Structure formats: C-alpha cells, structure tokens
Structure 1
C-alpha cells in the first residue's frame, strides 16, 4: 500500500493524549466521550461468499493452491520453499537463492545455452527471491507458454548442473550485490535493523547472505543442499491464472512430485527474545541521517495481527502530517508493519534534525496510545487501506502471495478472501490497545552523523 496516499485522511482521525477526547471527522471538532463507541463498521457481517475459483489439493506430496483466473492470459506460479533462514543459519546464509540462481546456468535437460535460448523464445520469466520464512521460486508465463516454461522451471529445481565455473560466476555477482548494499543507506539500514532487532533469532540472518557466508559456501554445499533440501514436504505451490486442475496435476505429477518426500514440517519460528531498548550507530558522511527502529509484534496467528496492521497505518498518517507536512523535518517518514510469521512494527525517518524529529514522533505515539480515533474516522481509514491494498495486489502474482501468506501464516488460504472483513473488525479501542502493548523497547539503528543525535531522546522509546 502507498502509505502517503492515506496520510491526509489518517491525520484527520488522530486523537490526543486525553482519554475522553477524540477527533470527529463528521463534526470537524473534538468531542468528549466516555468511551469510544462501536460503529456499524464492526457490526456482525454476513459470511464471506465462497471462493469457487480457488481450490487446494495434493499432488504426490506437493501441496498446491490453484486459483482459476480467466480475465487475463497471465499465469503466475510461485513455489514456496519453506523454512527460510531457520534451515541454514549464519554460516550458510544465502545458499538457497545462490543455488536457484546457479540453476539458470544450466540443468541436465537444458544446458546453459539451450536454456537461455528457449527462455528468450518463450518470453517468460523464472527467478528466486528470498525472505526470512521461505524462498520463492517464481514463474511468469502465459497460458500458451506455461507448459514449456514449467519444464524449464521444474528442471532448475530438480536437476541443476552446477558447473564449477558457472557457480563461481554467480558467486562473484552475488558478492558484488552484497557489497553494493553498503553503498545504499536504506538497504544498509534495513540490514542492520534486522541484525540488531533479531540477534540470535532466525530473522537476524540475512536471507540473501552476507559477504562472509557467500564466500564460504562451496560447490559441495550447494550440491548437498539440492540433494537433501529439495523435498516435497518443504513445498507449497500456488498457481494463479487460466489453467485447469488436471493441467497442474499433470505437470507437477511428472516433475516435482518425483522428488523425495522428506520430513520437513512447516511451523512458525519461535518468538524472538524480549526486546530491550537498543541504539546502534553507523557513522556515514551523508546529506541526511537515516533512522529505523523495530519493536516486537504479535504472531500472525494472534488476534492482534490485523489490529497492529491498521494501527501502524494510522500512526504513519499522523507522523506524515506532523513531521513532514507541518514541520518539514523530513522527506520520508513511515511506521511500517513487518508482515512475517512473528510480526514486528517499525519507526522510520530520514532527517537532518534527528532530536527534534524523534521527540515529535514520541509525542504522536503517546497521543495515539492515550487517545483514540473516532469509529467513523477509523472506518474511512480502513476502507482506504483496503482500496489501496487491493490496487497494489491485483496482479496474479500478488494474489499468489496473498494466498500463500494466508495459508502459511494463518493456517488457511481462505483468510486471503476474508482479509477485508477481518480488517473491518478492528475497533478504535483495538488501535489504542495494540499501540500501548507493542510500541516499547524499540531497537534503533542510526546511519549518519552520530554527533547530531542525543541518545537520551532514543531512550524515550
């Protein structure tokens, strides 16, 4: 979602640090209230209509979710290889995307030049992306080219050649990419923030690897990982497009289903250890200073999952209004929701005046923690949130990700269909409660000039 598009609206719904006062969008004034009443937004709703276009089934041990979409000719197939950084630890961080990228250099059925020529002829795409909870191997094709692209896709998973010379070329490219991360302040900030907030936890492991881990991964390590970890018990395949179940069953049955079953069982990682207030600084000579802090959120299975998602949207609007629009202290401020099996929230800003900016940020958080938004105001925020969310998630590939997250994080793909209704159940009291419960013991990372930062200001979080 583009949070800044919500900022003006969300700012109107803000509340101050007086428990009996709330801003009324309808009346344009502060009202005295005993408590925040419920609006029709939270009235019982009829059950969500059955999603007859989506089904789940098993093909030889591979779990499959298929959504039939006939409105376009694009087919998105995402293979989620579960486990993420828990499987590898710090020493072998990045090994799975390394392996999948190396598979582009040739497989048993498609030597390098043939593979490249065939992909160019088809005009389709195959490639990996790594996150803390899983690695995604994605296919993008049309209905006409899906079968042919699948053959290459599956062979890259099952039978990569892993020629030593080609592997070294991929390693060199990966190392260059990792080194460039230090040249991008935002990329460096996010990397350090995960490392600091989740020290000793799987989420503290960089899924794409570090300079040290990529350098130490051997050809033998890659071959062993492919042999032992490419098992069907780790796989969730989500296909969205104009393809039929028999077609998917035929393709999977002839390829991925022939892999070993393995004994992997998907479960969320354990919660991180209790956060303690932290500040880590990285000195850089930059035009501005970059600040990002994380605080621990609820598990995705918890009742506060969607409440914190909405609360961070409300907070983003307040911060945008007060820090950027009114005071011109920044060009970028955000309160991101970190959507993982174990969620988190964040506080992000770039500024030349970190002390003033952080004080205003702390003040706005306190006002929302001790006040509330009006039900009507929250209803407007939620509806705008839903609109922007679905505008950004309308492609077949985005729908595949929605279905996978619902299945893996909440236990049932149908939560993706119920997403809007679940957001509408969040109340003003929920917003205040989760902001009070979770925004504390923030672990901050600061990239820039540390002489401009008063550490006592950070300690206030």
Structure 2
C-alpha cells in the first residue's frame, strides 16, 4: 500500500479512537415523550427535531401516501396559526424549517440562532396540541401531492422503473409501495383518514424530541417540560416487525419503458441492524458494500467500469438502517454493445469471487477508512448529529451505537465479509430487473 494511504488510514482511526464523544443527555417525560439533548458549543446555533414512528411502512394497502400527505398538513394551520403561518414565523425570526417522510419515520425540524429555542419548542407543541385538518385545505394539498407524484415519478421513466422494481423486490412488507403512494389510491384519500393517522401516531409515546447545538441539559429541561409535559399521553400504536423471511425466491422482471438507456437493477433481501440476529452482520454487509463500490479503487469501478468497460456506470450499496429488513442493491447501465445479461453475469461474478475468497487486509483497511470518513463528515454539522440521534432512537436502537461504530467496524474480519457474501447474496434472496428502452413510433 502507498505510504501516504497508510498514514491517512492511521490518522482516521486515531481520530475516531481518541475523539471524545460530545455530551449527550437522555430523559423521558411522564407522557412518554423521549428527549435527546446533544451539546455542541462550536457555534451559537440550535436544531430542533421531532421524530415520529410513523412512515409509509405503517400504512395499510388502501392508504398509501397518507403519512407523507399528513406531513404536508402539519404546516397548514392550527387553532392559533393560519395556513403557512408556522413557516412564516420561523423565517421572520431568522430560522429555517422543513420535514421529511420515509418508510420508517416522519421528522420535522427547525434551525435557528440558539436564543430562539423557546420559539421552536412552542411552535412544535402548538401543532401537536392544536393541529387543524380542514377539509378544503386537505383537498387542495392532496392535489399538490398528486402533482408532485406526477412530476417525480409518473413523468420520470427511471423513477417509475424503480418503483415497479421495488414492489417486486421487497414483497409482503411496507417497503413494497412508494412513500408518496400509488396514484389511484392517493387520489381517494379523505380528510378523516389524515385525522385518524394523526390521532394514532402523533402521540408523545410514539415520538422523540432531539435538541442539538449550543445548549445544556439544564437549559433545555424546563423548556421541554413547559411546552410538552401537558400533552396527553395517548396510546402508542403497535408496529409489527416485517421481514422477508423465509426468502421469497428469485424474482425477475423485464420493463419496457421510455428510458434513454437500458439499466440493470439487482436487490438482495438481507438483515438490517434491527433485524440481524448477530449485529456483526450489519457491519460485515456495510464493508461488503464498500469493497464492491467504495470509490475509484473499488472492484466494480476498477474492474467493470474502467477495466473491462462493460458499464457506463455501476454501483452497489447496503441499506441497513431500517425498522424491517435491509436491502443490498446493485445498479448498472451497460456500455453500447454490452447486453444486460452479460452485465448481470459480470456483477454476479464479482459477488462469487468475494464469496469464495476474502478481501485482503489492505483492501479492508481502505474500505474501513472510507466508511468511517463518511460517518465523521456526516456528524460534523449540528443537523447531522440531530439526524443520527433521531434516526437511531426512532428505529428502536441505542443512540450510543454511533460512538461504537469505529470499534464495530474494526472487529469485522475479511472472512466475515466473505461469509456475508456467501450467505446473503444468493439467488433465493434476489430480485432482478432489466429495464429496456421501449421502441419509439
């Protein structure tokens, strides 16, 4: 290995091993609300996030898109705030706000200069106590979301191809339908369904409040009690664990769509950090993803893209931070004259080589350094720290896992990576899609 690379790796692991984790405090209100406070005194700023264990994963088949639609309605008014006034107040006091819905959770955030922390907490408690879902406002926002779907998916052949593939790749789980919802069901949603969703899932015992920035626990606790302790506890809804177990068997599909270039999708149903019987599986699959696609030196890029020139672009990745099972995905677009069958065989050959022969220690060191660097960079911002804390807590994981990440990566051996490829990246756990440009008239 080049001397400079060795020095860089040593520095990265030294920083990770010796850096003192920032002070983090956890407490819980009597109504069930979990609170995490992360101290970061580098700048006088604060991020406030409220996370709910409510995502499209929790939707019944007839209500797809409801979690995302309710996210929109959370900005449309309360008993004391008119439509859009929430965000206007945030902007008036120099802040920014937004929200996002995923399969596993919905989260809302505000960012300010630190003296505005009371305002942020008061605004969040206001919409939890006094949200109004007006029938006309709901119908208007439903049209906005349907237009969003048209632009992002229905009029985007590549997004449409991925949506169809996802439905086959993760059968029997809440991950099989899109977060934004199926268009025909989305159009039929009613205001009362949104009100019911809010009552079911937006209760203190189903939420985590994260406050990160130039704050202390002593500052935060009285404010949290002031604005949130009076919220009724409600009933925490059940959330059954979903897994593709036993394996669904090999699934294949061919899609003819108006895409500009052909594409190959491959997905393997694998454990996540929450569903793995042995937690080392998560870290082994993470490093396996890095061996295949972790920069210019990774196997797919060096061998299939720049080496054999089979692919114009290709990649692999492991999505292992989920409430349900994870997914190990490979995607590629062939160069002209290369068939999708040939490209698929080449990708599977790289997997087979790993399943037979462990990566070298030098390769493992390079991949560990890349994965670790990504995590360090993500945690550099206050927002990144709040995201990490909220996500781990909402998935039911210990937020301290982030402090153990480097140690757990270091414990993974080359043989663990080989065994992960051998056990999990197999045909009975796979789904494959060939996306082919449809003939133009």
Q: TM-score, normalised by structure 1?
A: 0.82
Q: 1:220 aligns with which of 177, 192, 202?
A: 192
Looking at structure 2, the residues matched to 157 and 381 of structure 1 have their Cα atoms a distance apart, in angstroms, of 44
1:200-349 equivalences in 2 (<5 Å):
200-264=172-236, 269-273=241-245, 274-301=247-274, 302-316=279-293, 317-339=298-320, 340-341=322-323, 342-349=325-332
Are 2:51 and 2:108, in contact at CA under 8 Å, matched by a contact in 1? yes
Q: 1:152 aligns with which of 108, 123, 139?
A: 123
Are 1:178 and 1:210, in contact at CA under 8 Å, matched by a contact in 2? no
Provide closer, same or farther for how the CA distance between residues 212 and 257 of structure 1 changes in structure 2, counting only shifts above 3 A.
farther
Provide closer, same or farther for how the CA distance between residues 178 and 382 of structure 1 changes in structure 2, counting only shifts above 3 A.
same
1:33 matched residue in structure 2 = none
Are 1:158 and 1:230, in contact at CA under 8 Å, matched by a contact in 2? no
RMSD: 2.8
1:166-205 equivalences in 2 (<5 Å):
166-180=137-151, 181-205=153-177
Quote how far apart the aligned CAs of 1:70 are.
0.5
1:58 matched residue in structure 2 = 28
Provide closer, same or farther for how the CA distance between residues 92 and 319 of structure 1 changes in structure 2, counting only shifts above 3 A.
same
Provide closer, same or farther for how the CA distance between residues 86 and 114 of structure 1 changes in structure 2, counting only shifts above 3 A.
closer
Looking at structure 1, the residues matched to 426 and 220 of structure 2 have their Cα atoms a distance apart, in angstroms, of 47
Looking at structure 2, the residues matched to 382 and 367 of structure 1 have their Cα atoms a distance apart, in angstroms, of 20
Residue 367 in structure 1 maps to residue 353 in structure 2: yes
Provide closer, same or farther for how the CA distance between residues 285 and 88 of structure 1 changes in structure 2, counting only shifts above 3 A.
closer
**Which stretch shows the higher mean deviation, 309-318 or 183-192?**
183-192
- Deviations 1:186-212 (CA, angstroms, capped at 9, x unpaired): 432432232112222122232332213
Provide closer, same or farther for how the CA distance between residues 117 and 383 of structure 1 changes in structure 2, counting only shifts above 3 A.
closer
**Which stretch shows the higher mean deviation, 342-351 or 255-264?**
255-264
1:425 matched residue in structure 2 = 411
Looking at structure 1, the residues matched to 238 and 410 of structure 2 have their Cα atoms a distance apart, in angstroms, of 29
Quote how far apart the aligned CAs of 1:435 are.
0.7
Provide closer, same or farther for how the CA distance between residues 338 and 259 of structure 1 changes in structure 2, counting only shifts above 3 A.
same
Q: Which runs of 5+ in 1 are unaligned?
A: 1-24, 28-39, 452-461
- Deviations 1:150-205 (CA, angstroms, capped at 9, x unpaired): 32233233322222222222111100111221333443243223211222212223
Provide closer, same or farther for how the CA distance between residues 194 and 286 of structure 1 changes in structure 2, counting only shifts above 3 A.
closer
1:447 matched residue in structure 2 = 435
Provide closer, same or farther for how the CA distance between residues 87 and 357 of structure 1 changes in structure 2, counting only shifts above 3 A.
closer
Q: Which runs of 5+ in 2 are unaligned?
A: 4-9
1:459 matched residue in structure 2 = none
1:99 matched residue in structure 2 = 70
Task: Give the number of aligned pairs.
Answer: 412
Q: Which runs of 4+ in 1 moved over 4 A?
A: 46-50, 265-268
Quote how far apart the aligned CAs of 1:371 are.
1.1
**Which stretch shows the higher mean deviation, 442-451 or 151-160?**
442-451
**Which stretch shows the higher mean deviation, 152-161 or 98-107?**
152-161
Looking at structure 1, the residues matched to 411 and 438 of structure 2 have their Cα atoms a distance apart, in angstroms, of 43
